[in-house]
Structure 1
């Protein structure tokens, strides 16, 4: 396996990669919501942020193969809800939005017996205008809109097992498409600084779902322009991917990513 981590700006770094050389990009850039990173200012004018987004996604477009996938995780805030949609509209001038997934962090359900259950974690807000935000977007962009996915690689068992024999498309397998709502909660932690020393991460299981959906388990090359503490790297390892390229401007986050890897990852 060839895993390379770069301590540099992703735009400059990706310019050095060959065109059409990578299969999958899974990433979560800064959201421009004022999150306190140590080496990046997450608060700029909206037009400046969108121009920067166009700069780095243009490089991703160049280095992705024609049948590649970009899985772009974006969130918002209650008083700034349009940002993910503005980014999606901007990218749709060049890319095709093939799928939109909803990463559900927390959910409350009423069971048939009337009992209410809640699962997952969320950051509560105290407001008379807004409800607590329990989800984020994962936009799946491709160059053509015709990229074949392995839906059953991330499928789920049928709740009603009679469907297995009732429908011919099941081919006798207890597996159905998961759909576009993905409930993937954060793992419980006791100390953020020690266990998740980054102000805005996604669970590695989210990246795993994206990787498996595109690859179906076959070895692929993965790119994460915003490596953070390495959750996409962990996902690539867990999925047995052939190669990985990641960029991070903060050396402390990069050190955390290196500590997570079991592969012979090299820092460039």
Structure 2
């Protein structure tokens, strides 16, 4: 951790470091974690300084976060997101990519679309990706989902990932997240220059099996590291500068560190910031 006026060689625990100052900042590898409100912290970033933004804001569906009320009036919530959108547009490079993960509930199916709409004045929607958490093929099911008991709704097995850019014309590295050809003869027969093809806009990324909240880093709504990793790869810039303004337990920065990218994450809750720092210090992959 680096912070003016404090030695990095002290014996303070990570929890004491979190509580000592606000905003509080740590550097682990190529990653920077800042404890504070993203509205305030975004204003401190230089314009056009970020290549890739990957984030998942609170969904406003009553998730029990430690330091955030996830049941705000819808108009206030969307106005807040529109304000965030303006700042994200300011800090994103002209050729940058912004990946926004949004979930929701069966009883309120408009949440993802409403959230995407809050960013419409600041960005162009270039790709709409479906993050599939669980899928049934024939009589087999793979992945994880939260089952519900209902006579109206199906189990909700997917979330949206909106790929925003400033122009809608940003080139991406589709083959960086490609899949091998099923029929290998297609490679020579159609003169493809790569053994892999575009995987499309449905991404099957299951959660890892966990048996306790601690294995989820005590965060109620994190996403797998594989999701931001795939987003960063798709953008396709070597040594990209990555930002997550709603860092949570740090999955985006774990992915950025794995890929050799420089990353910054903002997190308003000290416990979640602590979890992100601990994951990076432990060298999670």
Q: Considering the TM-score relative to the shorter chain, is it more than 0.5?
A: yes
Provide the C-alpha distance between the structure 1 equivalents of 2:245 and 2:199, rounded to a whole number of angstroms.
27
The match for 2:243 among 223, 228, 232 is 223
Aligned to 1:200: 221
Is this contact kept in 1: 2:129–2:160, CA < 8 A?
yes
Query: How many Å apart are 1:164 and its aligned residue?
Result: 0.8
Aligned to 1:136: 159
RMSD: 1.4
Aligned to 1:21: 49
Aligned to 1:174: 195
Query: How many Å apart are 1:61 and its aligned residue?
Result: 0.5
Query: How many Å apart are 1:195 and its aligned residue?
Result: 4.0
Deviations 1:90-138 (A, max 9, x none): 322231100000000000002xxxxx21100000011110010000000
Q: How does 1:31-180 map to 2 (within 5 A)?
A: 31-110=59-138, 116-168=139-191, 170-171=192-193, 173-180=194-201
Query: How many Å apart are 1:81 and its aligned residue?
Result: 0.5
Query: How many Å apart are 1:262 and its aligned residue?
Result: 4.3
Deviations 1:36-85 (A, max 9, x none): 00110100111001001011111111000000111000011001101111
Point out the more displaced range, 22-31 or 1-10: 1-10
Aligned to 2:272: 253
Aligned to 2:17: none
Query: How many Å apart are 1:167 and its aligned residue?
Result: 1.5
Provide the C-alpha distance between the structure 2 equivalents of 1:202 and 1:144, rounded to a whole number of angstroms.
27
Provide the C-alpha distance between the structure 2 equivalents of 1:100 and 1:262, rounded to a whole number of angstroms.
34
Point out the more displaced range, 120-129 or 188-197: 188-197
**Which structure exhibits the higher relative contact order, with contacts defined as CA atoms closer than 8 Å and separated by 6 or more residues?**
1
Provide the C-alpha distance between the structure 2 equivalents of 1:37 and 1:124, rounded to a whole number of angstroms.
21
Is this contact kept in 1: 2:131–2:205, CA < 8 A?
yes
Aligned to 1:237: 257
Deviating beyond 6 angstroms after TM superposition, the runs of 4 or more aligned structure 1 residues are none
TM-score, normalising length: structure 2: 0.87
Gaps in structure 1 of 5+ consecutive residues: 111-115
Provide the C-alpha distance between the structure 2 equivalents of 1:138 and 1:104, rounded to a whole number of angstroms.
10
Provide the C-alpha distance between the structure 2 equivalents of 1:181 and 1:195, rounded to a whole number of angstroms.
24
Does the residue aligned with 2:179 lie in a helix, a strand or coil? coil
